[in-house]
Structure formats: C-alpha cells, structure tokens
Chain A
Amino acid sequence: MTTTFDYPVWLRVDHWLNVLFVTLIIRSGIEILATHPKLYWNDDSRPGSEWARFTRKVMPKNKLYDTLDEEEDYSPFISLPGHAQLGIGRHWHFVAVIGWILVGLSYYILLFTTGQWHRYWPASWSIFPEAWNDIVTYMTFNLPPLLPGEPLDAMQKLAYAGVIFGLAPFQILTGAAQSPAVEARFPWYVRMFGGRQWARSLHFIGLVAFIGFIIIHLSMVFFWGWGHLTAAMIFGSIRNTHWATALSLLIIAAIVAVHVAATLWSLRNPRSVQRVLDAVVAVVRRPLLRPLNSRQHYPERKLTAQHRVNGKPPCSVEYKVMAVHNFADWRLRVGGLVENPVTLDLAGLRALGEPEMQRVMHNCVQGWTSIGQWGGLHLSALVELVRPLPEAKYICSMTMQDNDRDEPSSHGGGQFYEVMDLELAYKPQTILAYEMNGKPLPIKHGAPLRLRVETQVGFKMAKWINRIEFINDYSGIGKGAGGWREDNVYYAKDVEI
C-alpha cells in the first residue's frame, strides 16, 4: 500500500493537543524541579555532589538544614503554578501526562493503522547521509529539498522519528522510574537507568531536548513558511494561508489562555485544584500502582553515609528532655476506632514482635533519594493488637512536631500528622521504625519512632510519632485533606507516584 503523506484530521487535532499537553508538562515539571533544584548522578543525593543546581541558596554548616530549606520559588511565567506550590505542580504534571499519553496512544494507533508512520520512520539507511547533506545546506543559509513524495526533508524526518519514537517514550519511562511504588516493586527497572537519580537527571535532559526541539521546530516552520505549514496543520492542505496564520495564532493564544487560567485557578483556589485534579489522577494511579508491593533489599554497601532529612525535630523542652533520657518517658498512644486501645513505651513496642529490617530507598516528594536501613515493628502487628473496628478505614499518625515552632521553611503551621489507608498497614515493608542503620533511630530522622511505607512518597512517613489513631473520616482533622502536607501544600493523600 502506498501511503499519501497528507494531513488527516486526527493528525492535526493530535498535533495541537500535543502542544497543549507538552507545554503544561514542561511548566509543571519546572515547578517540581524547583522543590529540589539540584540534580545528581548518585542515589545518595550527597550534598555538594550535584552536577547541576538551579538555586542561589546556600545552606548553613553549623545547623541542621532540611530539603524544605532548599526549595526555590520560581515565577509562574516558567513554572506551573509557581511560588513553590509543589503539590499543585504535581497534580498538573500527572493530569497533563495522562492526557499526553492518551493523545500519544491515539497517535501511535492511527499512525500504524493508516500507514502514516512511514512519514516519520526512515525507509533506508541513506537517510543519514541525506540528513547530513541537509545540515550542510542549512549552513549555506538555503533550504534543502524535501524527500520525494514527502512533506519533510531528511533531517526533519529523523528529528520527528527521534522525538515521537525515542524522546517521548524515554520521558515516560524515566518519569515512571521516579514513582516510589514502581521503584519499590521493581528496583531493577530503576537500576536500568543507572539509578533513581540518573533517571531524574535523564528526565531533565529530556526536558532540555524537548525545549530544544520546540525552538528548532518553530524556527523551521517560520523559515519554510508559517502560513503554508500552519495551513497544512489546520486545514489539511496548503490553502488560505493568511487565514491559517491568523488561526494558528488564535490556537496558540487559546493554549496560552489555558495556561493562564490554570495558573490563576491554582494560585487563587488551590484546594479545588487539588480535589479536581487528584480525582482524575486517582483513576489511573489506584489500579496501576496501589497493587504494587515493596521488594527492596539493597546491599549494605549501598547505604547512604548521610541520609538526607526533611522536617526538623520538635523544639520543645519536653522532647529534648525525653531525648537526653533516651526516650524512656516517651509513650505511644494507640486508639480511635479500635477494640483495644493501648499505650506503649519503647520497650513495650519492641516486645510486640521480632523487628523487621529493610534496606530501602527513600523517595522524597521533592525528588531526592537516600538509601537507609530501617528496623522496627511491622505495622500490621500493632493493628492486630488493637483490633480496629469494622468501620475503621484509615490510620492517622500524629507527631510531636509543630510546624509553627519547628519548621520555618514550612508552608503553614500546626501539628504535623499524616493519614494513610488501613490496607497499607498490611503491605510488605510497612513498619514502625525505631532503628536506623543498626542504631536507635536518630533524632533528625524521627526519634524515637517513625513510619515507613515504602510504596509511598517520603512525606507520608511521619516522624516523631507519639499517637496513632484509627479513623473512618479525616475531613475533620486539620484542614481535612488527609495530612499536614495535603492540608498546606495540597499534595494528594495517596502518593504511589
């Protein structure tokens, strides 16, 4: 079958939808980068070892700093929505990715079923010397010839093939490698890219490649004839080129309007953005990622020397006095919708079962990672002790941290708490950790007790816990979003990605 390389309506529609989704992804991706604007080649995210940084901040040497202190505040002109709103940025990123993948899937299916894939995929190796000749021609400030019977020259064909069949899937694959659920269940997948931070760095390089492609693509359209080419991409053939130019600018203006609306909506009413967009993302996230269980067993030699931290220890006198007495006076109150509420000290908690030890990668929502060894009680052992009532659906971990007092870099105040679904308590490697790297859990990592839920992003793993409540509704706790970060930075409650 000989395919005519025309511009069918599906190709044109997908093209403009692609423009919308790619630009949303880029802006929201820059927002995500802003929350930890440093890129590494090592999974320890070792301070000072970054190969790129996009921040002017310098951290103190004599005081504990955390990665909240390192967050940057970028302008809404380059990031969506801007102003260090990571939670909202993530929602836009994942919704746009879902849209982009759906558009991409439709594109692939239609490309291959109609034979139009030949417009991008080279038919012979001669494309390479032809592409080189095209580059030489461009360097004489002339336009090279189109390939016979095709709407592209050789260089353009190679570039489109590279982006559609190479760069786009590459971004999806390196993006997926940054999901804690994917990483926990398939550590080999992340290792394939060189590690979690390699995947992140490569994802950033992919972003730069996409921006480079867009700049060159727009230049090419301009030099080859804006009116002609936009006519092809709007009307399907080269006609009414002035109308095409006007319409193309209108379409671009509409896309810009969507960006402006998304930004304003996010900055003015982030709670509704959180609710609406997370509902969309959850449709995909839940069935795809919730079933995944952590199977991480990193070797001891991979343990990070200086595991990064987020959040600062409680500055209260009570906490400091407890700490200097090795938390002998600390008590964990477990109650709520349970048959058997208990109050335990550390010895009592330890006595509930043999400690489980796991060497796992910590995936912070900001993008950094570290590998640590955690030891503690599997959460299900505590659940079985207290016997939750049938109506209990969630576990709420409450902590001794008060963000007003303890965390100047936080986006709000009040007691830190996190809510998770009860089913997560039964997943492998979900523990209440009281040990780290073979020693009692350090103060900066949540002493005397912290949560580990390895298929979730790091902020769910509450530190400095002193109370656990089994509940059936979290709307009355804090601001009702299911956790302190959900309340104040508008993250999703379920964060397998």
Chain B
Amino acid sequence: MRAGDDLPGRDEVGAPPACGGKRRRMPAEVRPELVSLLPADRDRVRGLLTAKGGHCESCGGTDFEIGHALYLGFLFLDEDDDAYMVALTCRNLECAHPHTAIRLHENDFLSGDGTLARAATWLASAPPR
C-alpha cells in the first residue's frame, strides 16, 4: 500500500466507510486511536507470542490478555509505516507490572484491511458531527 493513497484523507471526518455489514475493526471507545481486535487477530497475536517465546518482563509469565492495537506508523517518527503496538496484560495476578505490549507489523496479525486502524490515529481529534 502506498502511504496516504487509499486511506481516508486527513481532512475527511465522520463515519468510516460502510463495509457491507461484515464485522469490522472499530476504534475503541477508550480512546480514539486504539482499535479493538477481532478474535482472529487476537489468535494470530497469541500464535506470534508463542512462536517468539514472549514473556512478561516483570514476572516471567507467558499468559497474556490481548487488548487493543495502536497504529504507530503515523504518529511516531521512529516507527515503520506498518508498525503497530498491541496491548498485552499479564494474567498473573501477582505481577507487579502487568501492562506490556508487543510491536508487530500490520500483515503479521491484522486479517484484512488496516485502513480504519490507521485512520483512527489521524482522525482522533475530529470533532463530533
């Protein structure tokens, strides 16, 4: 994908384009830049964690709850164009610092189109219409 070409323009605000009634990845209600992942996306993240031997830096645990995703490529200069951060919460109740995350490329875990996830970062300040 060429950057900027097929994405909702930064001067276009309002509802994301309709996608025929399929389940779609929505901006999270917690904050506008975060997107909720589909179950299939979460499964892929879990698979990648297992494959990479991911573990909690605080307690060493390997069981995580997979949260929202944040597209990094637009907001942060030091990130690749297709970089995302996915929230991980260590399921160990004794863990002192359960919140961590994993950096992934779009094609690694997102099934389908990353358009909305990307647009969420630059439409985050759009006023209500």
Q: Do chains A and B touch in the complex (CB under 8 A)?
A: yes
Which of A's residues lie within 8 Å of B, judged by CB?
Answer: 46-48, 60-64, 300, 303-307, 312-313, 315, 320-329, 372-373, 405-406, 408, 436-440, 442-445, 447
A320 touches B76 (CB 8 A): yes
> Which residues of chain A come closer than 8 Å to B31, judged between CB atoms?
323, 326-327, 439-440, 442, 447
Which of the listed residues A312, A439, A440 has the most CB atoms from chain B within 10 Å of its own CB? A439
Interface residues of B toward A: which range? 35 or more
> Which residues of chain B come closer than 8 Å to A48, judged between CB atoms?
11
Q: Given A325-B87, A328-B99, A408-B77, A437–B70 Cβ distance below 8 Å?
A: no
B11 touches A47 (CB 8 A): yes
- B70 contacts which of A324, A372, A408 (Cβ < 8 Å)? A324
A323 touches B128 (CB 8 A): no
A439 touches B32 (CB 8 A): yes
Which of B's residues lie within 8 Å of A, judged by CB?
Answer: 3-4, 10-11, 13, 30-34, 67-70, 72-78, 81, 85-87, 89, 97, 99-101, 121-122, 124-128
B127 to nearest A CB, angstroms? Answer: 4
B85 touches A443 (CB 8 A): no
> Which residues of chain A come closer than 8 Å to B77, judged between CB atoms?
63-64, 312, 315, 406, 408
* Dominant secondary structure at the B interface: loop
A439 touches B86 (CB 8 A): no
> Which residues of chain A come closer than 8 Å to B30, judged between CB atoms?
326, 440
A324 touches B128 (CB 8 A): no
Measured in the bound complex, the distance between the Cα atoms of B7 and A62 in whole Å is: 10
B127 touches A442 (CB 8 A): no
A329 touches B99 (CB 8 A): yes
B33 touches A320 (CB 8 A): no
- B124 contacts which of A60, A304, A443 (Cβ < 8 Å)? A443
B101 touches A442 (CB 8 A): no
A52 to nearest B CB, angstroms? Answer: 20
B33 touches A305 (CB 8 A): no
Chain B residue nearest in CB terms to A314? B76
Q: Which 7 A-B pairs have the closest CB atoms?
A: A62-B3, A61-B4, A303-B127, A442-B124, A440-B31, A324-B87, A437-B127
